[in-house]
Amino acid sequence: MSSIPCDVVLLPSKGLSRKAIEASKDIAAVNKVFSVLDDENYFAHASLYMTQLSNDSIEQAKKLLEQVSQEFNAYNLVATGYGGDLGYSDVEYPREALYDIQKTVLDAINPVRDGMRIKDEARMKEAKGVVYENFKKYGYPHIGNLLRPHITFTRLTSFESPDTEALLGDPSRFSGLFDRIGLFEMGDNGTCIRKIGEWKLAA
């Protein structure tokens, strides 16, 4: 049975998404990049759990994520700064507020996942300690204290990261509401390329 790499994410509000799209375009205007956010081909998002799902498990995941969405309110997250390496450009948010929702997503989706993403299979071979244990249990390393909530604007075709603050200004402009859970098919460079479903958080 075929399966695809998927990403369970928090989705920014329409207003915050527009800001992220504008930022992505601004960076692309002065750099060579792999992708530009547009919420049609590449979607603004903050990842909670990257995993592998079969056709059957996708249908199960959709039902489970709808249930999860009713357990949590929308998040008003304050952007803490810009980040990224290997050419990525992103804006970061505090991880502590998202511990509970990530754990609930993991507990719901991990039992129905279809193995591990190919990229993560390779990374697990080099992993040690907590990272290895996360791979072993969940097929994904960025859990709990290793979670790094962020919206990626784009990735440059070179490993040199842009001076994002000089180009975009104070990162606090990207503070805002995350009001939905989304399930997406993943493309290259951590992109979300096809929306499978989205569910509004309870309040």
Asked if the model's pLDDT at residue 203 lies above 80, the reply is no
pLDDT digits (tens, 9 = 90+) for 39-92: 999 999 999 999 999 999 999 999 999 999 999 999 999 999 998 788 899 999
Contact residues for 142 (Cβ-Cβ < 8 A; gap 6+): 47, 50, 134, 148
Residue of 127 and 13 predicted with greater confidence: 13
Angle at 43 between CA 111 and CA 98, to 5 degrees: 50
pLDDT digits (tens, 9 = 90+) for 130-160: 999 999 999 999 999 999 999 999 999 988 8
Residue of 54 and 127 predicted with greater confidence: 54
What pLDDT is attached to residue 120?
Answer: 85
What pLDDT is attached to residue 3?
Answer: 93
Which value, to the nearest 10 degrees, does the dihedral of the CA atoms of residues 115, 116, 121, 127 take? -110
Task: Dump the DSSP string for 91-158.
Answer: EE--SGGGHHHHHHHHHHHGGG--S--HHHHHHHTT--HHHHHHHHHHS-S--GGG---EEEEEEBSS
- Total domain count, the chain: 1
- As given in the structure block, the two tokens for residue 96 are 């502590």
CATH for 46: 3.90.1140.10
pLDDT digits (tens, 9 = 90+) for 158-180: 888 778 888 999 999 999 999 99
Angle at 106 between CA 101 and CA 112, to 5 degrees: 140
The residue segments making up the domain with residue 47 are 3-200
The span from the CA of 66 to the CA of 197, in Å, is 9
